[in-house]
Amino acid sequence: MPASVAADTSCIRSSSFTAVFGPLDLTHAQVLARGADRYVFQHPHEPSLLIKVINMDAYAAYLERKPLKRFYKQFQRESAYRVYLNELSEYVTTTTVPSGVWNVPMSRVVGLAQTTLGLGQLVEKISDDNGLLAPTLANIIAREGISPALSDQLDAFFDDLIDAHIVISDLSAKNIALGNNADGKKGMYLIDGFGVLPLIPLYAWSKRLNKMRMRRKYTEWRARIQRQYDESQAAAQGTITP
């Protein structure tokens, strides 16, 4: 093989390897979203993927407020990256259905890759019709409130999550997106806040217990977000002068 061809082949292989395994360069990447402890970036080589990386400053501040958690975290080798294992584990359980057909309304977890900001988690991007990051349920409610159609969609969405035995650790309107998945299927998707947290994972063991817990939390959550919306509307009306 000519030296020039060999060099070109080597370059292509190197480029392909970096595109998959990293380190993916996020030095000048724009932060698309910020969670309590993670930043979300667009994958530099794949439009249908996002990269989540740990916000180490926020994680350290969280542990400062939680001395007990700070104590036992020192014995966990994965440290701040424990959340990746929790979400990967939850994702794996949803893929073991006998039919092998993916019908769970959640963002798919693709894997892990090294980045210039540390180990990153690769997840499916839920997009709007223009290919941009889809709005969250919190965005929709703030803009439009909870219409009867949205309420029905929410009920069906949670029924599907319960039926799939998804364990939700953080039920929040910010963790639900409305848009298109990588297959172009439009819907409501869980994008964060899933995975088992307790030392004794009762809700992961028992679908019945998880269903009871989810029903209770969903009822309380729906009442809370409606109350918060009503209060924000009342406050906005109060600022309008005649």
Q: Structurally, how many domains does the chain consist of?
A: 1
Q: Is residue 133 part of a domain?
A: yes
Cα distances from 132 to residues 20, 23, 41, 231, in angstroms, run 22, 24, 12, 30
Q: List, for residues 79-129, the tens digit of each pLDDT value.
A: 788 889 989 999 988 887 666 566 899 999 999 999 999 999 999 999 999
Q: Is residue 151 part of a domain?
A: yes
Q: Is residue 37 part of a domain?
A: yes
d(CA 173, CA 167): 16
Residue 235 has pLDDT above 90, yes or no: no
Residue span of the structural domain in which 87 resides:
26-236
What is the rounded average pLDDT of the residues 1-24?
60
Q: 180 phi and psi, to 5 degrees?
A: -110, 135
Q: Is residue 121 part of a domain?
A: yes
Q: List, for residues 13-30, the tens digit of each pLDDT value.
A: 455 667 666 699 999 999
Predicted local distance difference test score (pLDDT) of residue 134 = 98
d(CA 222, CA 162): 16
Q: Is residue 131 part of a domain?
A: yes
d(CA 233, CA 129): 28
Q: Is residue 38 part of a domain?
A: yes
With bands split at pLDDT 50, 70 and 90, how would you rate the model's confidence at 200? confident
Sign of CA dihedral 97, 150, 174, 202: negative
d(CA 241, CA 164): 50
Q: Is residue 11 part of a domain?
A: no
Q: Is residue 184 part of a domain?
A: yes
CA triplet 32, 35, 37: central angle to 5 degrees?
A: 125
CATH number of the domain bearing residue 223? 1.10.510
